[in-house]
Structure 1
Amino acid sequence: MTVTYVIDGAEVTDLDRFWQVIGAAVNGPGGYFGRNLDALADCLHGGYGTPDDGDFVIEWRRHELSRRSLGQEETARTLQRRLARAHPDNRAALQARLDEVRAGRGSTVFDELVRLIEEEAPGVLRLN
């Protein structure tokens, strides 16, 4: 039997809030389901609250609200935070990405989350 986890796009106001919302959807209030992209990828492979057989769906309702909240502005903010603590060898690439986002180009945090979920758990994500 397929288990459905619901994310309400109205609750996703920034990336930090996304981690809280998806954690609560899968594992209840205060639950964990990743706090960065690598951790989310691990969680999508099972053992972090989803059924052992992998029969689950993440239904992202009102996802267009999240798309706006996790758009260019939030992407720039997230990249700026990463840049501040990045290894010197990674700073140039992060700065270039930040410059692109500030110019209104490139993928957003929302795009990256959707891409990751679709790659790591094909067929799981339903955008409504």
Structure 2
Amino acid sequence: MAAVYVLDGTRIRTLDDFWQAIMDAFDSPGRQYFGRNFDAFTDCLSGGPGHPDVDEYVVEWRDHDVSRDQLGYPETVRQLEVRQARCHPSNRAAFAARLDEARDQRGPTVFDQLVEIFESRAPGVLQLC
């Protein structure tokens, strides 16, 4: 039987909240090495640091509609601004284009990116409830 990890969507209002919630849910020995970014999350779901210490599992993202709203375009813009400020100068133009898109409420949101990572790295694991 698969282990079930629950995310409370009413408590996930920022990307930082998501990182905390997923690591609290998984509660794996490698959580201390989880990098709290999209690349680290991709690695986690692929068996890297923070991955659950079980073979089969399901993640139930309850009240995901609340998270979808909170992790929408305003949070996406905020995250892109933070990343743009830290990125290599050669990448700033690409971030500027993504920022313009997000400010116009186009393109993937933070929520969309998280769901995509689940679907690409751990197909069938995520259940939006």
> Which letter does structure 2 place at the counterpart of 1:79?
L
* Superposition TM-score, scaled by structure 1 size: 0.91
Runs of 4+ aligned residues of structure 1 deviating over 6 Å after TM superposition are: none
For the pair 1:8 / 2:8, whether they are aligned, the reply is yes
TM-superposed deviation, 1:10: 0.3
User: Shift of the alpha carbon at 1:46?
Assistant: 2.5
TM-score after normalising by structure 2 = 0.90
Report the Cα distance in structure 1 between the residues aligned to 2:18 and 2:82, rounded to whole angstroms. Answer: 16
Q: CA deviation at 1:51?
A: 3.6
Deviations 1:15-36 (A, max 9, x none): 11111111111108xx555511
Aligned to 2:112: 111
Q: 1:81 matched to which residue of 2? A: 82
Residue 70 of structure 2 is aligned to residue 69 of structure 1: yes
Give me the whole-angstrom Cα distance separating, in 2, the residues matched to 1:124 and 1:34: 21
Asked if structure 2 preserves the Cα contact closer than 8 Å seen for 1:46 and 1:52, the reply is no
Q: Give the counterpart letter for 2:107 in structure 1.
A: G
Q: Give, as a single letter, the amino acid of the residue that structure 2 aligns with 1:82.
A: R
- The alignment's C-alpha RMSD in Å is 1.5
The aligned amino acid for 2:64 is H
- Asked if 2 retains the 8 angstrom alpha-carbon contact of 1:76 and 1:101, the reply is yes
Q: Give the count of matched residue pairs.
A: 125
Structure 2 equivalent of residue 50 of structure 1:
52
- Unaligned regions of 5+ residues in structure 1, if any? none
What amino acid sits opposite 1:2 in the alignment?
A
Taking a change above 3 Å as real, the CA distance of residues 125 and 42 of structure 1, as seen in their structure-2 partners, is same
For 1:104-126, what per-residue CA distance to the aligned partner results, in whole angstroms no more than 9, with x for missing partners? Answer: 11110000000011100111000
For 2:60, what is the secondary structure of its paired residue?
A: strand
SS in 1 for 2:112: helix
Q: CA deviation at 1:49?
A: 4.5
Look up the SS of the partner of 2:47 in the other structure.
coil
Tell me if structure 2 keeps the 8 A contact 1:3–1:51.
no
